[in-house]
C-alpha cells in the first residue's frame, strides 16, 4: 500500500481548495458594477426544478433591460447555487453579502434555505426576496422577519384556493398524500385546518419519503378510506408521477388535485395518460396559456432559447423586478441593504410579469395575494387554465 501517494493527493487537493477559496474574493474585488444584486438559487439538488427556471428568467429579464433598471441604474447579478441545501444557502448568502457586497438577494429558492439564511440577512442588514410559499418564512415571530420579502403565494392562501375548487365539485371526504418534509407536513396541517370551513373533511392522510418508488400502498389506503377526492401536497415530480400510476393501478378513480409543485411543463408532458384530469394550482400558466404579461416573459425566454417551464420563471423574474423597482425608488441616493429594505416596504403595483398585484408594506411582507393564482388541468400533455 502506498500511503504516501494517497497523502500527497490529499495534500494537493487541500492546496487546490485553498487557492480556489483565495481566488474568490480577488475576483469579487475586480468587479465594479454600481449596484449588485445577489441571486442565491437552487441550481442543483431536488429544488433545481424551481431554481433553474428562476435563474433563466432572471437572466433573460436582465439581458432585456441591458443590465440597467427601468430607471436607468446599472446593476450586476451575482449568482450562487445553494445546491438545495440550507447550510449551503446560508453560506452563499453570507458570501454574496460580505464578499460581493450585494444590497439585496433574490433567494434562496427553498423555504428551508430562506429560514437558514434569514438570520444572516438580518445580521448583515440586507433583505432577501424569497421565492417560496413556506408559511414559516413569513412568520412575524422570526427576528429576521423585517428582512424577508416573499415573492410567492403563502401556503395557507394556496391550499385554501385548492380546497375551494374541490368544494365546488361537491366532494366531502378528502384524502391527502404528502411528502415527508416541512413542506408536506405544513400542507397537510393547513388542509386539516381549512377544510372544515369549506364543508370538507380530511378523512385520511398518507405520506411518502422522497425515495419512494412505489406508492400503491399509500393509494390503497386512500381508496379504502372511501375518499371523494385526493390532494397531493408534493413538490417532487417523481412522487406525483408514482402516485398517479399507483392510483390507476389500484383503481382509485377519484378527482386528484395537486399543489403548485407539479404545475410544470415537464411534468405535464412526461407523465402520460395517468395525468389527464389532474388539477394543479399554479401562479399563472406561463408554458401553455399565458396572459399578456406572462406572454411577454414567455417570449423573452423563447427568444433566449429557453422553454418556459412554469411559475418558477414568474417568481424569479418578479423577484428581480421588485429589486429593480426598489433601486429606482432611491434615485440619486446611496443604496445600502437597509435603504433597499425601506424601499421594498414602499413598493406596490410595480411593473411585473404576473396576473396579480404585488404590494409590500411595513406590515405586509407577503406581497402577493391569491389574485395571481389559477387552477390548471392537465389534459393531453398540456396545462389548461380553468375559469
Partner 1 sequence: MTFSEFILRGVLAGSIYVLLAVPMSLLFSTVRTIDFAVGAYALVAAAVAASVGGVLGIAAGLGAAVAGSAAMALIFLLLKRFGCHNHIIYALASFGVATALASAVLWQYGTQSFVRDSFSQFWSLAGIRISPQGVLNLVTALVAVTILYVVIQRSQLGRMMRAAAVNVMGSELAGIPVELIQVGTYLVGGLLGGIAGLLILFTAGLDYSAPLSLTLSGFAAAIVFGIDNPFRALFGGLAMGVAEALAAGYTSGMVTSMVPFLFLLIVLGTSRFGDATVAGDRT
Q: With left for phi above 0 and alpha for psi between -120 and 50, is residue 45 left, alpha or beta?
A: left
237 binds partner 1 (CB under 8 A): yes
27 binds partner 1 (CB under 8 A): no
Region from 44-52, 90-98, 109-117, 373-381 binding partner 1, contact rule CB under 8 A: 44-52
**Binds partner 1 (CB under 8 A): choice among 18, 169, 224, 361:** 224
**Binds partner 1 (CB under 8 A): choice among 218, 259, 298, 374:** 218
| Three-class SS of 154-165 | CHHHHHHHHHHH
The C-alpha cell 426598489 sits at 326
**Secondary element (H or E) of residue 321:** helix 311-328
Between helix 155-168 and helix 182-194 the angle, nearest 10°, is 50
Nearest one of 92, 86, 83 to 38, comparing CA atoms: 92
How far is Cα 302 from Cα 59, in angstroms, rounded to an integer? 13
170 binds partner 1 (CB under 8 A): no
Cβ closer to partner 1: 169 or 224? Answer: 224
Q: Please, what is the minimum distance in Å from the beta carbon of residue 282 to partner 1?
A: 16
Region from 103-111, 236-244, 354-362, 365-373 binding partner 1, contact rule CB under 8 A: 236-244
* Contact status, residue 58 vs residue 316, Cβ threshold 8 Å: yes
Region from 29-37, 115-123, 218-226, 338-346 binding partner 1, contact rule CB under 8 A: 218-226
* Strand residues in the chain grouped as ranges (E): 35-41, 75-81, 104-106, 128-130, 148-150, 173-179, 201-208, 229-233, 256-258, 279-283, 373-379, 382-385
Nearest one of 132, 173, 174 to 155, comparing CA atoms: 132
* Preceding peptide of 30 cis, ω within 30°: no
Residue 171 DSSP symbol? -
**Binds partner 1 (CB under 8 A): choice among 233, 241, 330, 374:** 241
Side-chain-side CA neighbours of 360 within 13 Å: the count stands at: 29
Q: Please, what is the minimum distance in Å from the beta carbon of residue 119 to partner 1?
A: 26
Count residues binding partner 1 (CB under 8 A).
51
**Binds partner 1 (CB under 8 A): choice among 62, 77, 191, 208:** 208
**Binds partner 1 (CB under 8 A): choice among 144, 267, 288, 350:** 267
**Binds partner 1 (CB under 8 A): choice among 99, 249, 364, 385:** 249
**Which residues contact residue 14 at a Cβ distance below 8 angstroms, ignoring those fewer than 6 apart?**
none
Residues 287-326 that bind partner 1 (CB under 8 A): 309
Task: Identify the three-state secondary structure at position 308.
Answer: coil
269 binds partner 1 (CB under 8 A): yes
Region from 30-38, 194-202, 245-253, 332-340 binding partner 1, contact rule CB under 8 A: 245-253
Region from 24-32, 40-48, 356-364, 369-377 binding partner 1, contact rule CB under 8 A: 40-48
191 binds partner 1 (CB under 8 A): no
Q: Please, what is the minimum distance in Å from the beta carbon of residue 84 to partner 1?
A: 8
Nearest one of 156, 215, 152, 161 to 186, comparing CA atoms: 156
369 binds partner 1 (CB under 8 A): no
- Return the CA Rg of the chain: 22
Nearest one of 319, 308, 303, 245 to 278, comparing CA atoms: 245
Interface pattern 74-103 for partner 1 (x via CB under 8 A): ------------------------------
Cβ closer to partner 1: 87 or 371? Answer: 87
Q: What angle do CA 84, 121, 105 make, to 5 degrees?
A: 65
Please give the residue ranges that form the binding site for partner 1 (CB under 8 A): 1-6, 9, 44-46, 48-49, 52, 180, 185, 205-218, 220-221, 224, 236-238, 241-242, 245-246, 249-251, 264, 266-267, 269-273, 309
Amino acid at each position: 500500500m502506498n500511503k504516501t501517494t494517497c497523502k500527497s493527493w490529499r495534500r494537493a487537493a487541500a492546496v487546490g481548495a485553498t487557492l480556489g477559496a483565495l481566488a474568490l474574493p480577488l475576483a469579487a474585488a475586480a468587479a465594479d458594477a454600481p449596484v449588485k444584486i445577489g441571486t442565491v438559487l437552487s441550481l442543483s439538488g431536488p429544488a433545481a426544478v424551481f431554481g433553474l427556471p428562476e435563474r433563466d428568467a432572471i437572466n433573460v429579464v436582465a439581458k432585456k433591460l441591458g443590465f440597467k433598471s427601468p430607471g436607468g441604474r446599472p446593476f450586476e447579478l451575482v449568482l450562487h447555487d445553494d445546491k438545495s441545501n440550507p447550510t449551503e444557502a446560508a453560506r452563499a448568502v453570507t458570501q454574496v453579502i460580505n464578499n460581493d457586497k450585494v444590497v439585496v438577494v433574490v433567494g434562496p429558492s427553498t423555504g428551508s434555505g430562506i429560514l437558514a439564511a434569514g438570520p444572516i440577512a438580518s445580521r448583515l442588514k440586507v433583505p432577501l426576496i424569497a421565492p417560496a410559499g413556506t408559511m414559516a418564512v413569513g412568520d412575524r415571530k422570526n427576528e429576521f422577519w423585517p428582512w424577508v420579502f416573499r415573492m410567492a403565494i403563502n401556503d395557507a392562501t394556496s391550499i385554501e384556493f385548492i380546497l375551494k375548487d374541490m368544494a365546488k365539485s361537491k366532494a366531502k371526504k378528502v384524502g391527502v398524500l404528502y411528502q415527508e418534509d416541512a413542506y408536506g407536513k405544513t400542507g397537510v396541517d393547513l388542509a386539516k385546518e381549512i377544510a372544515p370551513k369549506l364543508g370538507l373533511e380530511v378523512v385520511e392522510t398518507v405520506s411518502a419519503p422522497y425515495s419512494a418508488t412505489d406508492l400503491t400502498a399509500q393509494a390503497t389506503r386512500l381508496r379504502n378510506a372511501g375518499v371523494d377526492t385526493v390532494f397531493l401536497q408534493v413538490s417532487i415530480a417523481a412522487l406525483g408521477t408514482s402516485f398517479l400510476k399507483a392510483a390507476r393501478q389500484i383503481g382509485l378513480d377519484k378527482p386528484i388535485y395537486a399543489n403548485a409543485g407539479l404545475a410544470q411543463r415537464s411534468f405535464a408532458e412526461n407523465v402520460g395518460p395517468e395525468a389527464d384530469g389532474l388539477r394543479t394550482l399554479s401562479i399563472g400558466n406561463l408554458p401553455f396559456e399565458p396572459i399578456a404579461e406572462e406572454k411577454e416573459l414567455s417570449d423573452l425566454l423563447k427568444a433566449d432559447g429557453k422553454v418556459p417551464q412554469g411559475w418558477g420563471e414568474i417568481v424569479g423574474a418578479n423577484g428581480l423586478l421588485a429589486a429593480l423597482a426598489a433601486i429606482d425608488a432611491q434615485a440619486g441616493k446611496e443604496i445600502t441593504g437597509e435603504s433597499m429594505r425601506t424601499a421594498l416596504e414602499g413598493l406596490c403595483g410595480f411593473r411585473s410579469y404576473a396576473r396579480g398585484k404585488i404590494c409590500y408594506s411595513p406590515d405586509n411582507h407577503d406581497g402577493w395575494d391569491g389574485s395571481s393564482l389559477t387552477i390548471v388541468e392537465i389534459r393531453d400533455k398540456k396545462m389548461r387554465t380553468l375559469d
